[in-house]
Chain A
Amino acid sequence: MLNTTKLTAAVLALALAGPLAAQDGEPKSGGTLNVVIQPEPPSLMIGLVQNGPTQMVGGDIYESLLRYDFDLKPEGQLAESWEISEDGKTYTFKLREGVVFHDGEPFTSADVEFSMDKFLRESHSRMRTYMEHVESIETPDQYTVVFNLKQPFGPFIGIFEPGTAPMIPKHIYEGTDFANNEANNTPIGTGPFKFDKWEKGSFIHLVKNEDYYMEGKPYVDEVYYHVIPDAASRAVAYETGKVDVLPGGSVENFDVARIQAMDNTCITDKGWEYFGPLSWMWVNNDNKPLDDVKVRKAIMHGVDRQFAKDALWNGLGKVSTGPLSSSTRFYDGETPDISYDPEKAKALLEESSYDGETIRILGLPYGETWQRWAEAVKQNLSEIGITTEIVPSDVAGWNQKVADRDYDLAFTYLYQYGDPALGVSRTYMGDNAAPGSPWNNVANYQNAETDKLFAEAALMASPEERKAAYKEIQDQIVEDVPNIWLLELGFPTIYRCDVKNPVNTAFGVNDGFRDVWLDK
Chain B
Amino acid sequence: MMSFWKRFSYNRGAVIGLVILTFVIAAAILAPILFPQSPWKMVQRPFLPPFTQDGLLLGTDALGRNVLAGLAHGAYVSLLVGLVSTIVALAIGVPVGAAAGYFAGRIDDALMRFTEFFQTIPSFALAIVLLAIFQPSLTFVIIAISIVSWPPVARLVRGEVLSLRTREFVEAASLSGLGNLQIITRHILPNALPPIIVLASLMVAQAILLESSLSFLGLGDPNIMSWGYMIGAARTVIRTAWWLSFLPGMAILLTVLALNLIGEGLNDALNPRLTRKSE
Chain A contact surface mostly: helix
Q: Out of B63, B239, B240, name the residue touching A372 (CB < 8 Å).
A: B63
Q: Out of A257, A368, A379, name the residue touching B42 (CB < 8 Å).
A: A379
Question: Is the CB of A382 closer than 8 A to any CB of chain B?
Answer: yes
Residue contacts A-B, CB under 8 angstroms, 18 given: A232-B236, A252-B236, A254-B236, A258-B239, A258-B240, A363-B222, A368-B233, A368-B236, A371-B218, A372-B63, A375-B63, A378-B40, A379-B41, A379-B42, A389-B223, A390-B222, A391-B135, A392-B222
Interface 1/0 per residue, A361-388 and B, CB below 8 Å: 0010000100110111011001100000
Q: Complex: how many Å from CA A378 to CA B237?
A: 22
Q: Out of B45, B135, B236, name the residue touching A392 (CB < 8 Å).
A: B135
B48 to chain A, nearest CB (A): 12
Q: Complex: how many Å from CA A337 to CA B240?
A: 37
Which residues of the other chain, B, contact A363 by a CB distance below 8 angstroms? Answer: 222
Of all chain A residues, the one with the shortest Cβ separation from B225 is A375
Interface of chain B residues 60 through 98 with chain A (CB within 8 A): 62-64
Q: Out of B62, B136, B222, B236, name the residue touching A311 (CB < 8 Å).
A: B62
Number of A-B contacts (CB under 8 A): 57
Question: Is the CB of B38 closer than 8 A to any CB of chain A?
Answer: yes
Interface of chain A residues 169 through 199 with chain B (CB within 8 A): none
Question: Is the CB of A91 closer than 8 A to any CB of chain B?
Answer: no
Are B63 and A376 in contact, with the CB atoms below 8 A?
yes
Are B236 and A307 in contact, with the CB atoms below 8 A?
no
Are A311 and B239 in contact, with the CB atoms below 8 A?
no
A357 to chain B, nearest CB (A): 16
Of all chain A residues, the one with the shortest Cβ separation from B61 is A372
Question: Is the CB of A83 closer than 8 A to any CB of chain B?
Answer: no
Q: Complex: how many Å from CA A312 to CA B233?
A: 13
Chain B contact surface mostly: loop
Of all chain B residues, the one with the shortest Cβ separation from A374 is B222
Are A379 and B136 in contact, with the CB atoms below 8 A?
no
Residue picked from B62, B219, B237, B240, most chain A C-beta under 10 Å: B62
Interface residues on B, range: 20 to 34
A372 with B223: in contact, given A258-B239, A258-B240 (CB under 8 Å)?
no
Question: Is the CB of A449 closer than 8 A to any CB of chain B?
Answer: no
Chain A interfacial positions (CB closer than 8 Å to B):
231-232, 252, 254-255, 257-258, 307, 311-312, 363, 368, 371-372, 374-376, 378-379, 382-383, 389-392
Which residues of the other chain, B, contact A368 by a CB distance below 8 angstroms? Answer: 233, 236
B43 to chain A, nearest CB (A): 10
Which residues of the other chain, A, contact B237 by a CB distance below 8 angstroms? Answer: 254-255
Q: Complex: how many Å from CA A372 to CA B40?
A: 11
A246 to chain B, nearest CB (A): 15
B36 to chain A, nearest CB (A): 14
Of all chain B residues, the one with the shortest Cβ separation from A394 is B132
Interface of chain B residues 184 through 241 with chain A (CB within 8 A): 218-219, 222-223, 233, 236-237, 239-240
A375 with B40: in contact, given A311-B46, A392-B222 (CB under 8 Å)?
yes
Interface of chain B residues 123 through 139 with chain A (CB within 8 A): 135-136
A372 with B135: in contact, given A258-B239, A311-B63, A390-B223 (CB under 8 Å)?
no
Are B222 and A372 in contact, with the CB atoms below 8 A?
no
B277 to chain A, nearest CB (A): 53
What 15 new A-B contacts, CB under 8 Å, besides A368-B233, A368-B236, A375-B222? Answer: A231-B236, A255-B239, A257-B240, A258-B240, A312-B63, A363-B222, A371-B233, A375-B63, A378-B223, A379-B41, A379-B42, A382-B38, A389-B223, A390-B223, A391-B222
Are A379 and B38 in contact, with the CB atoms below 8 A?
yes
Q: Complex: how many Å from CA A391 to CA B237?
A: 24
Are B223 and A311 in contact, with the CB atoms below 8 A?
no
Q: Complex: how many Å from CA A378 to CA B63?
A: 12
Q: Complex: how many Å from CA A351 to CA B236?
A: 42
Q: Complex: how many Å from CA A138 to CA B218?
A: 57
B188 to chain A, nearest CB (A): 44
Q: Complex: how many Å from CA A160 to CA B45?
A: 45
Q: Complex: how many Å from CA A358 to CA B236?
A: 31
Are A379 and B40 in contact, with the CB atoms below 8 A?
yes
Which residues of the other chain, B, contact A382 by a CB distance below 8 angstroms? Answer: 38, 40
Of all chain B residues, the one with the shortest Cβ separation from A304 is B42
Interface 1/0 per residue, B108-135 and A, CB below 8 Å: 0000000000000000000000000001
A376 with B42: in contact, given A254-B62, A311-B63, A392-B222 (CB under 8 Å)?
yes
Q: Complex: how many Å from CA A51 to CA B236?
A: 26
Which residues of the other chain, A, contact B41 by a CB distance below 8 angstroms? Answer: 379, 383
B77 to chain A, nearest CB (A): 15
Q: Out of A254, A312, A378, A390, name the residue touching B240 (CB < 8 Å).
A: A254
A38 to chain B, nearest CB (A): 15
Q: Complex: how many Å from CA A382 to CA B218?
A: 22
Which residues of the other chain, A, contact B63 by a CB distance below 8 angstroms? Answer: 311-312, 372, 375-376, 379
Which residues of the other chain, A, contact B236 by a CB distance below 8 angstroms? Answer: 231-232, 252, 254-255, 368
Of all chain A residues, the one with the shortest Cβ separation from B241 is A254
Which residues of the other chain, A, contact B62 by a CB distance below 8 angstroms? Answer: 254, 311-312, 372
A315 to chain B, nearest CB (A): 12
A358 to chain B, nearest CB (A): 10
B221 to chain A, nearest CB (A): 8
Of all chain A residues, the one with the shortest Cβ separation from B222 is A390
Q: Complex: how many Å from CA A255 to CA B240?
A: 8
Of all chain B residues, the one with the shortest Cβ separation from A232 is B236
